[in-house]
Amino acid sequence: MLYALCDLSDLTTLPILSKMGEMVPETIKKRVENLREEIEYHNTLYYVLDQPEISDAQYDRLLRELEKLEEEYPELRSPNSPTQRVGASPLETFEIVRHTIPMLSLANAFDETEARDFDKRVKKFLGSSADITYIAEPKLDGLAVELVYDRGQFVVGSTRGDGIHGEDITQNLRTIKTIPLQLIRKEIPAPERLEVRGEVIMQLKKFKDLNRRREESREPVFANPRNAAAGSVRQLDSKITAERPLEIYCYGVGEVIGRTFKTHSEILQIFPKWGFRTNPNIQRCQNIEEVLEYYHRMNEKRETLPYEIDGIVIKVDHLDLQTKLGEIARSPRWALAFKFQPKQETTKILDILIQVGRTGALTPVAVMEPVKVGGVEVSRATLHNQDEINKKDVRIGDTVVIQRAGDVIPEVVQAVTSKRKGTEKKFRMPSKCPVCGAEVIKEEAIHRCIGLDCPAQLKGRIKHFASKRAMDIEGLGVKLIHQLVDKGLVKDVADLYYINKEKLIALERMADKSAQNIIDAVEKSKTKPLSKFLYALGIRHVGETTAEDLARQFLHLDDFFRLSEEDLMEVEGVGPEVAASVHQFFGDQKNKESIELLKKAGVKVIETKVKEKGNFEGKTFVFTGTLKTYGRDEARNLIESLGGMTASSVSKKVDYVVIGEDPGSKFDKAKELGIKTLTEEEFKKMIR
E strand or H helix at 392, and its extent? helix 386-392
Q: Return the closest-CA partner of residue 206 out of 158, 160, 142, 159.
A: 142
Q: Per DSSP, what are the bridge partners of residue 156?
A: 148
Is 412 inside any structural domain?
A: yes
pLDDT at 681: 84
E strand or H helix at 455, and its extent? helix 455-466
Q: Are 177 and 290 within one domain? A: yes
Range of the domain at 661: 614-687
Q: Are 640 and 507 within one domain? A: no
Q: Per DSSP, what are the bridge partners of residue 196?
A: 147, 253
The HSE-up count of residue 95 (CA atoms within 13 Å, CB side) is 22
Domain boundary among the residues 318, 339, 360 is at: 339
CATH code: domain of residue 376 = 2.40.50.140
pLDDT at 219: 72
What is the count of structural domains for the chain? 5
Q: Are 275 and 396 within one domain? A: no
Residues 273, 324: Cα–Cα separation, whole Å: 29
Q: Are 173 and 126 within one domain? A: yes
Q: How confident is the model at residue 14 (pLDDT cuts 50, 70, 90)?
A: very low
Q: Per DSSP, what are the bridge partners of residue 136?
A: 283, 314
CATH code: domain of residue 290 = 3.30.470.30
Q: Are 246 and 363 within one domain? A: no
Domain boundary among the residues 283, 318, 339 is at: 339
DSSP 336: E
Q: Return the closest-CA partner of residue 195 out of 274, 77, 269.
A: 274
Q: How confident is the model at residue 57 (pLDDT cuts 50, 70, 90)?
A: low
Residues assigned a catalytic role: 139
State yes or no: pLDDT of 576 exceeds 50.
yes
pTM of model > 0.75: no
Q: Are 202 and 240 within one domain? A: yes
pLDDT at 295: 96
Q: Maximum distance among all alpha carbons in the chain?
A: 92
Q: Quick: pLDDT tens for 68-109.
A: 888 788 888 777 777 766 655 667 778 889 999 999 889 889
Instruction: Give the percent of the chain with pLDDT over 90.
Output: 45
State yes or no: pLDDT of 162 exceeds 70.
yes
Q: Are 306 and 416 within one domain? A: no
Q: What angle do CA 520, 526, 527 make, to 5 degrees?
A: 130
Q: Are 270 and 396 within one domain? A: no
pLDDT at 15: 42
How many other CB atoms are there within 10 angstroms of residue 467's CB atom? 15
pLDDT at 520: 93
Q: Quick: pLDDT tens for 203-234.
A: 988 998 888 887 766 677 787 888 889 989 98
State yes or no: pLDDT of 197 exceeds 80.
yes
Angle at which helices 225-233 and 204-216 cross, to 10°: 70
Q: Return the closest-CA partner of residue 316 out of 125, 463, 132.
A: 132
Q: Which positions ≥6 away from 5 have C-beta within 8 Å?
A: 148, 150, 155, 156, 193, 649, 651, 653
State yes or no: pLDDT of 534 exceeds 80.
yes
Q: How confident is the model at residue 50 (pLDDT cuts 50, 70, 90)?
A: low
Q: Are 260 and 386 within one domain? A: no
Residues 215, 218: Cα–Cα separation, whole Å: 5
The HSE-up count of residue 416 (CA atoms within 13 Å, CB side) is 12
Is 6 inside any structural domain?
A: no
pLDDT at 9: 35
State yes or no: pLDDT of 141 exceeds 60.
yes
Q: How confident is the model at residue 163 (pLDDT cuts 50, 70, 90)?
A: confident
State yes or no: pLDDT of 455 exceeds 80.
yes
pLDDT at 5: 35
Q: Quick: pLDDT tens for 243-302.
A: 899 999 999 999 999 999 999 999 999 999 999 999 999 999 999 999 999 999 999 898
Is 163 inside any structural domain?
A: yes
> Under a CB-based contact definition with an 8 Å cutoff, are residues 152 and 218 in contact?
no
CATH code: domain of residue 520 = 1.10.150.20
Is 652 inside any structural domain?
A: yes
User: Mean of the pLDDT values across residues 368-396?
Assistant: 88
Is 245 inside any structural domain?
A: yes
Is 94 inside any structural domain?
A: no
CATH code: domain of residue 52 = 1.10.287.610
Q: Quick: pLDDT tens for 294-328.
A: 999 999 898 889 998 989 999 999 999 999 999 88
More confident residue, 163 or 284: 284
State yes or no: pLDDT of 643 exceeds 80.
no
Is 380 inside any structural domain?
A: yes
Residues 490, 536: Cα–Cα separation, whole Å: 17
Q: What angle do CA 314, 316, 322 make, to 5 degrees?
A: 130
Taking CB atoms within 8 Å and a gap of at least 24, the contacts of 673-680 are 673/7, 675/650, 680/627, 680/628, 680/629
pLDDT at 481: 93
Residues 343, 40: Cα–Cα separation, whole Å: 41
Q: Are 498 and 358 within one domain? A: no
Residues 688, 35: Cα–Cα separation, whole Å: 51
Is 301 inside any structural domain?
A: yes
Domain boundary among the residues 339, 361, 393 is at: 339
User: Mean of the pLDDT values across residues 161-166?
Assistant: 86
**Which whole-number Å values give the CA distances from 512 to 479, 482, 483, 496, 501, in the listed order?**
17, 19, 17, 18, 8
Residues 432, 439: Cα–Cα separation, whole Å: 5
DSSP per position, 235-292 = -SSHHHHHHS--EEEEEEEEEEES---SBHHHHHHHHHHHT----TT-EEESSHHHHH
> What's the whole-number average pLDDT of the chain?
85
Q: Are 370 and 299 within one domain? A: no
**Which whole-number Å values give the CA distances from 338 to 124, 330, 341, 543, 610, in the listed order?**
20, 17, 10, 26, 44
pLDDT at 12: 35
CATH code: domain of residue 662 = 3.40.50.10190
User: Mean of the pLDDT values across residues 109-130?
Assistant: 94
How many other CB atoms are there within 10 angstroms of residue 615's CB atom? 11
Pick the range with the lowest mean pLDDT from 313-327, 409-423, 600-614: 600-614
Q: Are 431 and 463 within one domain? A: no
Residues 467, 162: Cα–Cα separation, whole Å: 13
How many other CB atoms are there within 10 angstroms of residue 432's CB atom? 12
Residues 646, 659: Cα–Cα separation, whole Å: 14
Q: How confident is the model at residue 688 (pLDDT cuts 50, 70, 90)?
A: low
User: Mean of the pLDDT values across residues 568-590?
Assistant: 86
The dihedral over CA atoms of 87, 88, 90, 94, expressed in degrees to the nearest 10, equals: -140
